[in-house]
Structure 1
């Protein structure tokens, strides 16, 4: 073995760029661990190790690098503060992702680390990659912190009672639900006995007030054990129970109500505080919690407490309350979202923008991405502006935002390369970039919208095209033809009779004029899709442009395929036969594609490419929303916003996006989908039968509880009844989570007075399906209740 002095001397001779933590760790393998240094330690080593500790506190290397840092400390080579950063570095790298031994050895044999540092892991939460919960989640099950600590408790290295006590204390701190879960799992694995749980009762009662629902459930479960042992402090539990009744899930509040019922049976003197606590259950969103609370309050005769909360009750519970109170108590009718039948709050403003070209460019470089602002900026830049040259500095700064819209706006201003994305929007930016650089002729762009959501007045389009001396910019022309509005076409066609060249012929054809020889295929495809957006075009088909989204209208189908690993994989089928996609043909969407690789800030603009039909936009992005059911997606929110505001035809793919949006993992995305439901289905913009078809396709993939909650949150009760009455008979009676959908149908039917089941018979498909339930499951009971409403 080498001496530490010799190793440090070798390290000191390394070039500065070679003096790394890895070099130090490798050299330490040769050191005699029992002999401290006699010579001075190189001055650079202390800062290097301090920086390594800081790095390990935020990064999980999955290897036991912290052992080398401890060796340096124990040899006296470095002195480190045992602060929060140090504790997190230990959490990160005391052990390996695959092997428990380094962590076990360190805590068995390093008394200082075990006694003075280790216990602070129950106090320092961590975050990102480095926390007890995250290291465990991504480690082999027998190599994580939980496995090691249970081994050390079993060996007596760590005192069992203190580990249990520290777990409970950690749960009382302001840790996130994800990181608090580590301590509930560890405490459960230590399997405390009844006596240990009874001794922890004061802490468990305090945990009922935790903001983490799982912690409240954990505490309530242990307090039920205390109650079974006859040792529950009834008054203390009653005082804290209201917080347990506010937990969003059903199970915890129902458990709390059961415990309150038992307390009431043995402590009649606590009736008043029990009633006050139980009344909180009437404010819960789940019917079962409300019904159980109402039953308890009826037994207590607490009429005033029920009457005060009557407007919060679900319709069926409100009906029961009214029967008891002897009056008419109904839950207020749910209100539709404040949206008109046709979207007027569309994202593109047609109001004049008094900002100059430079001011608009500066806003875009700062991250604004309103599609109207983008279009007005392009129009101003194409006419020429001396202001743009002054934006070189912020434009260079924006170039760092890879793939974002602002990075490409910066590229337009600086003459830099645009992102290599095969999309019409990028091609249009390329044309404007050439104008700004002086390589293309300036002029008024054809495609700048004149109305909301991207519409272009046909007469304005013809006037702009007539103003061009020669051929206009190609992609600008394609974009304009796709945006032509329906009103004023005959007048615009008469004004276009003398427009020259292929552009003039295509413009006349788009406005309803006679066929002419097909020139530029992309221009004529856009003209055909602008002429009859949802129909086939024989003229283009005869010219050999008969692909889906070219001469023939495209039809899209989402297919969900089950896999052995328990998930469903989405794929897109296009009819008729698809053709290869091209950036100048945005109405063509090939199968098996997740859409243009546009970041989220591009999507509001992309949604306005073809205002006539929403299907190509959503066909390109439906799989993104489907995948958002189990992962966070930055693109899903703007996709759902576009669904609510798109003015064009909403077909099967639009319905599939809505159905997928209502089962996404993020609550905010589900709220967006609920708003879209309220805006589109009651107003007839999206057919309820088409939505029910899409929900059938996604039923195996979706979470029924999320669907039910989103439908309730939409506030569109009559539309919810309509959609569910169409959907439910097509689901198997043992569909997972079916009761949530049945319960939602029941509540909304009572709220609206609609009788969705009707009598059994040829036209009573829902009634026949409901009648097929047997047994006493919650779904069966709700099915019979729905039949009783008929």
Structure 2
């Protein structure tokens, strides 16, 4: 039997032969061959398979390089054949991504020969696809041949061509691009791709443009792009291009008007560039043109605008900079007003800005105006202590420092957590979770267990097919829902399965048996706590041991002893027995954090957990043995709420990298910090909060600020409670910015931050200027002089920013006003009232 030439070419991996064989075929001939080729594609797609001489597919391992390379060539030839025979609908119906391995040059030859009516749609689809050679050259060849018009995403495709093409090589190899595409690219600002993103990926567009384009025209195009109101991110490509062009004085002078036009754009980096360039030109700039730069939030921009304003002094315009939040910028604006004097317009503007000035600069403004406004003080606080029992007052140390948490007897239950109450609500939660099915929380798991004696039907019916398509390499509450839908468990956890996986497996067994009952360990309140009487209501004769062990660790203190006695017969052995003993005696485990700065970053923090060895796998073992077993990652914060300090200790090494880096990464520490919002704050939790203020990851430092503001407001935090241990590890500028946000929370927060800095600013070994400036501002706002830091401040001398702030602080005097003690007592009263219910 004569072998089929087209199949033989595919088996040989010869894409060129495929092109030659298909040349001249009619559309009917192509469509006749498509079904067999489509079936072959499906048979060889995932994983990549090798065709033997008879066209039968065989799996290929990545380690068998020779066979893999041959299978790869076969695949490329097959995809070229499909481009030449299958319809657009048939190609798009294949598994994504198709075509994954396309030989761009051969595909272009095939599609040119075929010239189907859907060519433009096929090209637009290909432009959005990925592959080992990129798809833009395929589209470019069709545009160049006149077969199609430029697709809407054409320039995005060109920018996305890296890593397959380097812009320098692209422009050298195809000079026509310089006139037809590259100049258009410099005006392409509204696509999904950008020159900034392509440059960041290493496409070398700046270097290519400077080497290949006319210099004068490129300088003008750069200025035009910068003036088109780009975002700061996209504008960064053009600001970098301008600097690499090394514009000469003559070129700059010729474009003075265009540079002045940039003063009205929104992007801070463009404003900064314009100011830098205009500063190098001796000509003045009209004061009104500097108004946007004077109002900019970036300190460097506002300072640069003030320098340019010196060439054409205008006091009224200078007052715009008084609205800047930075006291140093305000000071520079006041310097000019003091030199130039106040016009009527400047006086009116200064009066309007007076309330916006920092406390350290306001006296200068008042002196200029010849006024002395009264210093604002917090309103007196009305306190009613008679309703607070004496025992609670003693426990919370009324009138003294915040007591160390947890305080014996203080309630811990926060907002209640309502379980899923109906199939409709369960369907809503499941719909949300299916977008990330490996996640899912205990509330969803509890909902499945509550209704698993009913058919997986009704409002759940639309999810049946989606659940059946789930991968089964992970355990989650969604996979337990899949057990409900299918009636069987696909696999059991392996020998290294986590307690969470074991709990999910226990739940799956109950679902298979249709035993509907609540999850014992579902928290009843925020913070991970379970109200003991609710656990007793949930109990049954055959509790799952891992589920019960987790529930016992979450029991709230009030009523816990009674609940433990009631479930004693279920806690005689295994993980439940150890969890019950830990719940009765939580202090059996001690935790310590040890730093060794001589170690590499990933080994610098050691968490030492001292206590009895946990014999059985379960939630307690996972929680207290995290560091013993040298596992990475902080333990799940909600496993043992009473000993959340262990979770905080284990979170400290996870946080360390975010103190060093510039952008930060998600370590899950933010989840733990958010859980502390209304919970007791033991020393290790406070230590974690202070460190998190210095994190580069937004979720972490925002959560730390929120917890500290709330903790000060309800009497859980004061300056004496905040630990100074880690100040040397935190970048001072970051810490100052976050402490400023805490201080902005109210008069009590302002006093606490001031006293914390007073007590501990000397612990910052390097670059303390930002913290000293904040300390000075808070001291000026409250009319209080340094109390504990004077000896340290006297060691700072010279003209540095830190020394100037220290000098200003040493000139301040005054004791904390009585109202601050009243505010602190009022916070303690709020905490007591929560205790009283």
What TM-score, normalized to structure 1? Answer: 0.74
Distance 1:321 1:401 in 2: 67
Equivalent position of 1:206 in the other structure: 261
Cα displacement string for residues 42-99 of structure 1 (whole angstroms, at most 9, x for unaligned residues)? 549946972476237xx696x686556545654x3x63433551122222327856x6
Q: Deviations along 1:236-291, whole A, 9 cap, x unmatched?
A: xx223222123222111011122223311xxxxxx4xx51x333322211111122
Contact 1:366 1:406 in 2 (8 A): no
Q: Which residue number in structure 1 is paired with residue 424 of structure 2?
A: 359
Q: Map residues 476-625 of structure 1 onto 2, 5 A cutoff.
A: 476-489=547-560, 496=565, 501-503=569-571, 519-520=573-574, 522-533=575-586, 535-536=587-588, 552-557=589-594, 571-576=605-610, 582-585=617-620, 586-591=622-627, 592-595=630-633, 607-623=637-653, 625=655
- Following TM superposition, by how much is the alpha carbon of 1:714 offset from its aligned partner in structure 2, in angstroms? 4.8
Matched residues in 1 for 2:154 and 2:302: separation? Answer: 40
Q: Is the counterpart of residue 93 in structure 1 residue 161 in structure 2? A: yes
Which residue of the partner structure matches residue 780 of structure 2? 750
The match for 1:431 is 506
Q: Deviations over 1:635-664 (max 9, x none)?
A: 45534322323x244332x33542343234
Distance apart, 1:777 and its partner CA = 0.8
Cα offset for 1:185? 0.7
Select 1:195's aligned residue among 250, 257, 282. 250
Q: What secondary structure sits across from 1:242 in the alignment? A: helix
Q: CA deviation at 1:217?
A: 0.6
Please tell me whether the aligned partners of residues 184 and 218 of structure 1 are also in contact (alpha carbons under 8 angstroms). Answer: yes
Residue 124 (structure 1) shift: 1.7
**Helix, strand or coil at the partner of 2:216:** helix
Q: Which residue of 2 aligns with 1:321?
A: 365
* Unmatched tracts of structure 1, length 5 or more: 32-36, 153-157, 265-270, 506-518, 537-551, 598-605, 759-763
Distance 1:483-1:614 versus aligned 2 partners, 3 A rule: same
Residue 168, structure 1, aligned to residue 223, structure 2: yes
Q: Please give the alpha-carbon distance, in whole angstroms, between the structure 2 residues aligned to 1:346 and 1:149.
A: 64
- 288, 307, 323: which one aligns with 1:239: 288
Query: Quick one: distance in 2 between partners of 1:527 and 1:39?
Result: 75
Partner residue in 1 for 2:751: 718
Equivalent of residue 677 in structure 1, options 708, 732, 757: 708
Structure 2 residue 829 is the aligned partner of structure 1 residue 776: no
Tell me: CA distance 1:489–1:669, structure 2 relative to 1, closer, same or farther (3 Å): closer
- Kept in 1, the 8 Å contact 2:423–2:451? The answer is no
Q: Distance in 1 between matches of 2:667 and 2:708?
A: 21
Q: How far does residue 712 in structure 1 lie from its aligned partner after superposition? A: 4.7
The one-character-per-residue Cα deviations of 1:667-715 (angstroms, maximum 9, x if unpaired) are 5653332212212256553575664435336326984565455445555
Alignment of 1:762-773 (within 5 A): 764=788, 766-773=789-796
User: What is the distance in 2 between the residues matched to 1:389 and 1:84?
Assistant: 45
How big is each residue's C-alpha offset from its partner over 1:423-470, in whole Å with a ceiling of 9 and x where there is no partner?
Answer: 54444343333323216x5445543444443333334444654xx33x
Decide whether aligned partners of structure 1 residues 167 and 560 sit closer, same or farther in structure 2, where only a CA change above 3 A counts: farther
8 Å Cα contact 2:626/2:632 also seen in 1: no
State the alpha-carbon separation in 2 of the partners of residues 675 and 667 from structure 1: 12
CA distance in 2, matches of 1:485, 1:136: 55
Change in 2 beyond 3 A, CA 1:677/1:282: same
Most deviating of 408-417 and 117-126: 408-417
Which of 638, 643, 654 is matched with 2:676 structurally? 643
* Residues in 2 aligned to 1:682 and 1:648: alpha-carbon distance in whole angstroms: 13
Is 1:728 the counterpart of 2:761? The answer is yes
Distance 1:138 1:368, change over 3 A: closer
Name the residue aligned to 2:276.
221
Once the two structures are TM-superposed, the CA of residue 179 in structure 1 deviates from its matched residue by 2.0
CA contact (8 A) 1:477 1:523 kept: yes
Contact kept in structure 2, 1:171 and 1:180, CA below 8 Å:
yes
Asked whether the 8 Å contact 1:136–1:146 carries over to 2, the reply is yes
Once the two structures are TM-superposed, the CA of residue 6 in structure 1 deviates from its matched residue by 8.6
1:283 counterpart residue number: 323
Instruction: Report what 2:88 is aligned to.
Output: none
The 1-side partners of 2:119 and 2:612 are apart by 64
2:351 alignment counterpart? 307
Report Cα offsets for 1:149-172 as digits up to 9, x if no partner: 2222xxxxx221211111122122
Relative to structure 1, the CA distance from residue 656 to residue 205 in structure 2 (aligned partners, 3 Å threshold; closer, same or farther) is farther
Q: Which residue of 1 aligns with 2:189?
A: 125
The answer for the alignment partner of 2:527 in structure 1 is 453
User: Helix, strand or coil: the match of 1:146?
Assistant: helix
CA deviations on 1:445-503 (whole Å, 9 max, x unpaired) are: 543444443333334444654xx33x42212221221122222356557xx37x56352
Partner residue, 2:204 = 144
Contact 2:162 2:198 in 1 (8 A): no
Is the 1:655–1:694 Cα contact (8 Å) retained in structure 2? Answer: no
Task: Return closer, same or farther for 1:93/1:587 CA change in 2, 3 Å cut-off.
Answer: closer
Are the aligned partners of 2:793 and 2:810 in contact in 1 as well (CA < 8 Å)? yes
Deviation at 1:406, TM superposition (A): 6.3
Contact 1:651 1:690 in 2 (8 A): yes
Distance in 2 between the 1:728 and 1:386 partners? 63
Mind listing any 5+ residue stretches in structure 2 that lack a counterpart? Answer: 1-14, 26-32, 42-77, 81-98, 382-395, 397-401, 814-837
Residues 174 and 114 of structure 1, relative CA distance in 2, 3 Å threshold: same
Residues in 1 aligned to 2:288 and 2:619: alpha-carbon distance in whole angstroms: 68
